[in-house]
Every structure is written in structure tokens, then in C-alpha cells.
Structure 1
Amino acid sequence: MGNGRRPAVERLPRRIGRQVARGPGNGLNHQVVAKTLTRRVCIVTPGALGSNPRTVKEAEALSGAGFKVTVISTRHRPEVDPLDDSILDTADWNSIRLDLRTRLRRLPGKLTHTAARFAAERWDRAFLIDRAFNAATSKLIRVARSVPADLYIAHYPAALPAAASAAARHGARYAFDAEDFHPGDWPDDPVYEPLQRALNRIERRYLPGAAYITAAAPLIASAYSKRYPVALPAVILNTFPKDQAPVAPTPCGSGAPGPSLYWFSQTIGPDRGLETAVKAIGIAESRPYLYLRGLPQPGYLDDLMALADGHGVRDRLRILDIDRPSRMVPLAAEFDIGLGIEAGQTANRRIALTNKMFTYLLAGVPALLTDIPAHRDLQQTLGFAAKLFPVGDARAMAARIDEWLRNAEALQAARQEAWRLGQERYNWDYEAVRLRDCVVTALDPDGIRSPTS
């Protein structure tokens, strides 16, 4: 590469040869470790590492359990590259990234995607349908087939054809991780019907052949088992490692100015409940500051600031830069209350559990949640570490905010309970054992499961 340009497919070998831990409490036993050391797992995602923490956690968990892991991902947003780089600096697994950042590099995939989408509407052929759904799928198929593995794990439907094709080529098995209920991703609008049909054909074709399916929420698992002829997926919650948590709970947040409400996501944009939050801080007697972390959609911040102006709270709306996934828990711990305020405008949004709630719990921060089915079920297990309010009801949201921020004892008790729940149940240390058992069973159904599962 004499011109200094990066290759379209970047292959990075593992950088750290971490030894497999065998101490107490790690959920492993010697017989399982001996088997996993020779097993290869290839994880395939159409997304970037820096915007897909669940994929990274899976790679780290399986590599730490002794599997030889390769992750195939993409690069398509330059602003996410620094996050990718920070992950790869300490990764102990192999990385292959498809560079889709320039129009020239996206063009072949776009052309294939457009042609396949046109043809798939006329001919019911799996080859066409697979490539019609997502422009990255053709490249993912080609690269995945070049990586020998014993198990291929697809994240998102666009990666399913790649995982299945690679598994068929190498005499291996494949699995699927459902972070969302993808048939419910879109509003009920005829404009989305072509995508819905393509998705249905892909999932109906490949999911029954998967060695296992995991889901990021109980209601997502239930929805998939009802829609397709598959066993109830194993639930692997979107939690985070305990070593990211503060050593002890604190009575209130340390962020200034305060009191403070905190929300984060990859994207700051509409239909996320943010408009309700802006109105609520204008109503709440505690006069909280609202901190938002993420990449604003073009033009959206102007609209949100205009709304804040109209409610007299522009000076209390603060926008924070994106940061590494591994920093989300300690950053959240700086604030008084965490917000999980999804509006539930699609079927998936109503039943999904985003990583926000579990970030807050591990950070020792109580969660204020919209009253949608997924949050309602979760709140029953969280007790006074979480409160619910009706979607879009700014006055009810303000009242719940004041119940904590105008009562220091209640806020301290809620933060202590959130931290306890994060330490005892809602953490990746717990979920990683369940994930590893799914993989071990898929590769060796007669294998020995860990005594903690």
C-alpha cells in the first residue's frame, strides 16, 4: 500500500495474549477451559465496534473464556473511529473491519444492494433477498466465508446470511443475537413493507437453523419464539462488567451544576422522549439540569434548544461529547438520576431494554423510566431504585423527579439500592457465564456446563 491509504478490509491480530483465568468465581472449570481453548468463534456485525458495545462485550467474554475470537465489523462514521481505536488498543481478539467510510468504497455494496432489492421484489430467491436487505451484507458474506471458525454469531439480521453462509462453507454452526425485536423496528407504515418482507424472509430462512438464539430482553425473547418456529431464546441482558462500577454508592451525584438528570445514546434525536424531558425540567420545583450525551442528528439540536428557550430552560440543557463504551458507567455515576425515556413508538421500542438502565444500576444511579411494557416488567424487580411515569407526560415526570431531588434521604436510599442491584444481579459478570454456556453447548452439546449456570 505505497500510497498510504488504508485497505478496504483491515485485519488486526489479537494484541494481548491474555491467559484464561481459573480462579474462584469466574464461572469456568478446567474441563470446559480445555475444550474452549481449541475452539474458534467468529462474530459478525454490520455495525462499528465503537457503536456496538454488546458485540465488544461478547468478544471479550468469549476470549476471556478461552475461545479464539475474530470479530468482523465495519467502519462507516469517521466520528466513531476514535472509539474503535480505543477498543482495539486493548483487544485480545482478532479484528477485521470493512472500511465503508467513503462513497467509492460504499458504491459496490450499494449497487449490489440496489440491484438485489429490485430483483428480490420480482423473484423469490434467497441469494437476492439476502443482499436486498442491507448494503453491507454482500461484503460481510465474502469476508465471513474467508474466516474458518467452529461457530459464527450474527448480530443484526444483515449479518445472518453471512454467518449461515460461512458456517455452511466450513462445516460449522451459527447463532443469532437479537439485541432488538427487528420485525418491530419500523412504524406501521406501507413505506416499510419491502424491508419488512425482506427481513421476514431472512429470519424465517435462517433462525430455525441456528444453534441458539440470544435476546437482550425477556419480551424480545418471547416475541421471537412466537413469530418463528424456534425455541425460546436465552436472555442475555445488556449489562456491563462490575469492575466499571464505583467502589461504593454515593448519596448524590457529583456533577456540577446540579441537581442533575442524565441521558445518553449513540444519537441525540427525535422520538427518544427528550422533548418531554426538556418540558419536565421547566416544571420541576427542584430546577434540575438535563445532561445529554451523544451525536446530535443534523438540525435536531436547534429544534431542542428552541423548545428549551420556550420553556425557559436553555441554560439548564447541556450537551456532552461521546466517549468510550468502557467509560459509560463511571460517567453516569456523576449524575443524580438516569433517564430511560423511550416513547415506545414502535413494537420493538416497547419491549426492548436498552443498555441505559443497566448502566445506571451499575453506576449506583436510580432510573426514571417511561411506563412501557419492558420498563414496567423491569421495574417490578428494581423496587425503589426506579420510578415510572406515563409516556409524554411532562408534569408526571417532573413530579417523579422532585420526589427524589427534593428528598435527600429518598435519593440516597434509591442510589444505594441501584448500586446493590448492579453488584448482585445486573452486571456482565453474571450474563457472561450464561453466554459462555450457550456457546459451549452449541459446540459440544454433551459438554460440561459451569456449576454457576
Structure 2
Amino acid sequence: MDNGVKGDSRVQKQARSAADAGWEVVLLGMAPGQKVVTWKLGEADVRLVPMPRTFTARANGWVRRKASGAKRRVLGAKPPAAAPAAAQPAAAAAAPVAAAAPRKRRLDGIRTAGEKVTHGVRRGWDNTALVVYKGVLGDRAWQRLDPQLWKFEVAFGHVIDSLKPDLIHANDFRMLGVGARATRRLRAAGHPVKLVWDAHEFLPGLNSWVDNPRWLPAQVMHERYYAREADAVVTVSERLAEMLQQEHRLPALPAVVLNAPNAEVPDTSGEQIPDLRESCGVGPDVPLLVYSGAAAPQRGCGIMIEALPHVPKAHVVYVVGRPQSGYMKQLMARAEELGVADRVHMVPYVQHWQVVRFLSGADVGVIPNHHFPNNEISLNTKFFEYSHARLPLVVSDVKIIADTTRSTGQGEVFRAGDLTDYLRALDIVLADTQTYRSAYDKPGVLEKWTWEAQARVLDDVYARLLPGSPPARN
């Protein structure tokens, strides 16, 4: 996996359940530093490997350096030292300041114009490179458009070769190429191996987080270049399975493995599960609204803060991987502007097997996603976690989540990004939380949303590729 494993519940559950089924499992991830880090996850071995400290592969013959946060000198020579203030009359002392103001504005204007021209030239060069390389190389153009993808090969390739696995489970789009190339090498060396690609999202519909027009096309080309080399594909929803089969002309529909919580909590050797309300410092009678998971503008997290002035007794808690990230600081700054910062709490993730119990201390689970392609096509992790925590839901009208919430009766739906409609849905749920909690008592609602049920699907995929290996669960 192209992360540090600890914040990724899906890969942790995969590794633990596969090991429980009898497979010998090594879970590879990215080390935070330049030393290998290892630990046990149940019977699975976790190994975090260092990424290259520097990576000098060049795209299009040049390397761009982002000057974020760097101090820049204004065009022109260093200003001369001013005479001592005591030696100047008051009017004379003010004159250089008055003269300097328009000069500074002119220089700032020149600098801004220059930056715009430079950005435009770079953007034009990026677009030209995209067209030229795609036309000449086809999907192989990813190697030129984003050579940084090779750093994952540098980190993981030799480790996979040394393990000589019988099956490689490649999580998400970056690891697909790593797994496919390792499969080629092992087979060429006479070692039979199978490749499973686990597609977590629909890459062409991804909202790129990189300010570079080459980045997303490069990832799409990379995925398309290797997708058909997988012996089996699994993914996170039925709709995404259909889209992947169509996009890559896959011979079989991918198997669906939902990222649902464990019904049975693994043995944690008496480890105490934190209490959500204690973490926030609020009592049992305070209405507590929770958002859990990765936070970003396209996930609509800000609407929960915008609503607080209209819901005077409620508190909001974000359970996130990085409570001190730049985006979370922006949210807190907005809460301070609105005078509600004392009712906003940010707490870090807990262990994935503790999440359901931890979240159960809230009154409402909120999923405020905006309308982006990948938000529309699956039930996300927090939906399942909220459900097993038996939380009433307030969700935006992204399709699959909204349709499911309406059909089960476990919450209310509002128009994405519409504060007035969010407040309407929230008021309805807070007025009768018990009715929405009772939706989880209906037979079959939660049973199908467990990792144990999903692990059986994954076992079947493994066993079909490697007959005679550890059997599927009964």
C-alpha cells in the first residue's frame, strides 16, 4: 500500500483476516523515515520500507521547484539605510515613506505579472507535453508525464522479489504498476504468481489534488497500461465494479469487497477503548455531531461549522488523521470567526477495531460530501462505521449514500452544500434520534455490512486463483 498502513483500515483488515484464514501474509507500506519498520498485525507481518530520499528522474528534461513559503526579494536594489529619525524634520521624515508606497505597489505589480506569465508558460508547457507524449507513446506516456511513480518501484520492487510471493495484492492505482512489474519479473524467473488489483476509486473521476495538468492523465494512463494484467480485480462497490469493467474492458466483473467494520472486535489484550465525549470534554446531554475520516473541502466538512450558530447547544467533533493539518486549522479559524470555536473539537484516529465503539458516543453521524464522481458511486467507510455505531445519519444527496439512507430509514438527506437544507435535516434527526436508531433493529440491515462477510469474498478470490490453498470460511 502507498501509505503508512496505520491509518488505512481496509488494508489492515485484509491482512489480518487473510492471515486468520491460513495465508502467510506480509503487508508492505511506506516507512515514515529511512529505516525499515516492522510489527505484527494479528498473524500478519507488517513491513514499512523507506522511500527514496531524493528522486531525480526528470519529466520533459526539466524539474519544477515550487516556491511555497519561500521569501522572495522584491525586484530592485537593496534600499539605502535611512537617516536617523532624530536628524530629520517630521515632514521630511514622512516624504520617503510616501514615495516608497507607490514604488512598492509598482514592484508588487511587476512581480505578480511576472508570476502569472511564468505560471502560464509552465501550464502551456505541461499541456503541450501532455499532447505530444500521449500522441507518441500512448499509455506509456505516464513514464514521461509523472516519472515520480517510479519511486514506488525503487522502494518496493526488490522487497517483493525477495519475498517470492504466490499472490500479490496491489492496493489502489499506484501499487498496480508495482505489482504488475513484480509479477512479470517473478514469472520470467520461473516463479508462478497471481496478481490481485484492489481498486479503491474510479481514477478518471478523481478530483486531482496536484496543481499540474499532467498529473491525473499520467495516473489514468498508468492504470490503463497495467489494468488488464491483473488476474483478478476487487473493488468497493457494485457501481464501481461496472465502471471499471467498462473502462478497462475487463474479462470479468470485479468482485465487491466493502470496507465494512469487524462484527467481532479482535483481541486487544484488554486495551481500553477511548471515550468520544471524554475526548471532547462534553457531558452526556450535549448534542454531539461527528464527522469521521479524511477531511477535505470536497467532502463538505465546513457546513457543520457554518451551522453551529443556528444550533446553539450542539457540539461538532472531527475524528481525523491529522487534527493539526492546514485544512483543519482553516476550519477552526472559521469557527473562531463565527464565535463557536469552543464547540468544535478535533481528535485523532483510534485503532480501526475501536472506531465503532468510539463513534457510538455521538448523537448524529454526518456525511456532507459534495457532488464529485467518486462520492456518488459507493458507500464510504464512515457510512458503515456510523451504521454499526447505530448513529442517526445526516447525509448529503450524493447518490448511493442518499438512496441507501432513504431506503433503510436510518437518517435524513439534504442538498449538498445547502446550509438551510442541512439545518432542516439536522433538526428533524435531533428531534427524534431514537426512531432513526431503531432502523438498525431491522433484520439484515447490519449483517451484510460486516468485514467477516467481506472477507469471505476475498478468500474466494484468493482460493480461485490458487486452488488447494487455504480454503474459504464456512
TM-score by length of 1: 0.75
> 1:97 — aligned with what?
48
* Contact 2:12/2:41 (<8 A) preserved: no
Give the one of 206, 209, 224 matched to 2:244: 224
> 1:387 — aligned with what?
412
> 1:67 — aligned with what?
23
Provide the rounded CA distance (Å) in 2 between the counterparts of 1:288 and 1:418: 24
Give the one of 354, 359, 365 matched to 1:332: 359
> 1:40 — aligned with what?
none
> 2:80 — aligned with what?
none
Q: 1:114 to 1:136 in 2, by over 3 A?
A: farther
> 1:396 — aligned with what?
421
**Mapping of residues 170-209 of structure 1, within 5 Å:** 170-187=191-208, 192-209=212-229
Provide the rounded CA distance (Å) in 1 between the counterparts of 2:327 and 2:48: 30
> 1:265 — aligned with what?
293
> 2:434 — aligned with what?
412
Q: 1:265 to 1:141 in 2, by over 3 A?
A: same
- CA shift, 1:192, in A, is 4.8
Give the one of 295, 311, 319 matched to 1:284: 311
- CA shift, 1:301, in A, is 3.6
Give the one of 53, 66, 77 matched to 1:106: 53
Provide the rounded CA distance (Å) in 1 between the counterparts of 2:180 and 2:297: 35
> 2:454 — aligned with what?
431
Provide the rounded CA distance (Å) in 2 between the counterparts of 1:376 and 1:450: 33
Q: Which runs of 5+ in 1 are unaligned?
A: 1-44, 246-252
> CA RMSD for the aligned pairs?
3.3
For these two proteins, the number of residue pairs brought into alignment is 380
Q: Which runs of 5+ in 2 are unaligned?
A: 64-128, 267-275
Which residue identity is paired with 2:193?
A: A
After superposition, what is the alpha-carbon deviation per residue over 1:355-391, rounded to whole angstroms, capped at 9, x for unaligned?
Answer: 101011111112221111231343254x211321110
TM-score by length of 2: 0.72
Provide the rounded CA distance (Å) in 2 between the counterparts of 1:375 and 1:331: 22
After superposition, what is the alpha-carbon deviation per residue over 1:72-120, rounded to whole angstroms, capped at 9, x for unaligned?
Answer: 1112389xx9xx98xx3543112221124xxxx421xx22475899899
**Mapping of residues 361-380 of structure 1, within 5 Å:** 361-380=387-406
Provide the rounded CA distance (Å) in 2 between the counterparts of 1:374 and 1:116: 44
User: Is it true that 1:140 corresponds to 2:160 in the alignment?
Assistant: no
- CA shift, 1:47, in A, is 1.2
* Contact 1:154/1:174 (<8 A) preserved: yes
What is the aligned-residue identity percentage?
22
Q: 1:176 to 1:293 in 2, by over 3 A?
A: same
User: Is it true that 1:156 corresponds to 2:101 in the alignment?
Assistant: no
> 1:443 — aligned with what?
466
User: Is it true that 1:128 corresponds to 2:128 in the alignment?
Assistant: no
Provide the rounded CA distance (Å) in 2 between the counterparts of 1:117 and 1:98: 28
Provide the rounded CA distance (Å) in 1 between the counterparts of 2:60 and 2:3: 22
